[in-house]
Amino acid sequence: MQESVILRRLERLEQENRRLRVILSGSALLLLALFIGSMAPDRSMEPADEIEARRFVLRGAEGEEACVLGLDSQGFPHLLLRKDRSHGILTLNGPALHLRGPDGRRSAYMGIDSRGSTKLELTSERLTDGVRLAVKPDGAAGIYLLDQQGRDRLGLEAAEETGTLLTMRDDQGQLRTSYGIDPQNLPALMLLDPAGRRRTGLMIEADGSPLFAVEDESGRPRVEITSKFDGSPIFRIRREDGGVSYEAP
């Protein structure tokens, strides 16, 4: 009996030793894992690769919105920068870049309008007069000086249909003077009346002959000065039906 009791006690001691070794082994592995983890860089301290939001706002010292990044009512992303009356807007609704000076009025605009024209505009404090540089979808391009009503007063244009022209307009926007080279590479200077009718023209014709013409309000030539093939001058006065009433020499 005594021997069997001793054997059972020894067996219990072995079982407890085995459990103790398992616990010690697990503890050692846990300590090793913690040590290795402490040596690795702390990923939680690194900046996130991506931040998501519908609107980002940077506020000034008094809580005013100084910078806003978000979407407009049509879903186009835009960036707004603002300081007092000065501000700048960058948007894909166009797209366009619009800047205003410290007075809140002087402006610079660069973008693509609803008609597909690419524009650069610089304006004064009146918001209308300034300079415009534009390229239309068909490739026609021009630079224009604008008056206080925003009308083109002086323009330099180049287009396949009209050629290269220097144009001047009155305060009603009506073309009054045109000087340039037409699509056939013929130079011409035209003076127009307030209704836009050509009244005086100076040009070089296709055969190389110079021509100065004065036209009536219906666009009919009434006075012409030109030259013959040998260079000698010709002066003509025409009737309303186009016939010559006087010619010299």
Q: Tokens 């180049």 belong to which residue? A: 158
pLDDT for position 182: 93
pLDDT for position 61: 87
Give the residues across from 156 on adjacent strands.
Answer: 143, 166
**What are 171-209's pLDDT values in tens digits?**
999 999 999 999 999 999 999 999 999 999 999 988 889
**Cα→Cα distances 233→71, 189, 198, 227, 248, Å:** 70, 20, 23, 4, 8
Q: What DSSP string describes the chain?
A: -HHHHHHHHHHHHHHHHHHHHHHHHHHHHHHHHHHHHHHS--GGGSPPS----S-EEEE-TTS-EEEEEEE-TTS-EEEEEEETTEEEEEETTTTEEEEE-TTS--EEEEEE-TTS-EEEEEE-TTSS-EEEEEE-TTS-EEEEEE-TTS-EEEEEEEETTTEEEEEEE-TTS-EEEEEEE-TTS-EEEEEE-TTS-EEEEEEE-TTS-EEEEEE-TTS-EEEEEEE-TTS-EEEEEE-TTS-EEEEE-
pLDDT for position 76: 94
What is the Cα–Cα distance from 222 to 240, expressed in whole angstroms?
Answer: 7
Q: What is the pLDDT along the chain (249 residues), one digit of tens a residue?
A: 555 655 565 566 566 666 656 555 555 555 555 555 555 555 555 666 788 888 999 998 888 999 999 999 999 999 999 999 999 999 999 999 999 999 999 999 999 998 999 999 999 999 899 999 999 999 999 999 999 999 999 999 999 999 999 999 999 999 999 999 999 999 999 999 999 999 999 999 888 899 999 999 988 999 999 998 777 899 999 999 999 999 998
pLDDT for position 29: 55
pLDDT for position 33: 58
Q: Which of 156, 124, 153 is nearest to 141 (CA)?
A: 156
What is the Cα–Cα distance from 137 to 102, expressed in whole angstroms?
Answer: 34
Go through the domains of the chain in sequence order and give each one's CATH number: 186-249 (3.90.930.1)
Task: Write phi, then psi, for 152 (nearest 5 degrees).
Answer: -70, 125
Q: Which of 203, 242, 245, 243 is nearest to 226 (CA)?
A: 203
**What are 104-131's pLDDT values in tens digits?**
999 999 999 989 999 999 999 998 999 9
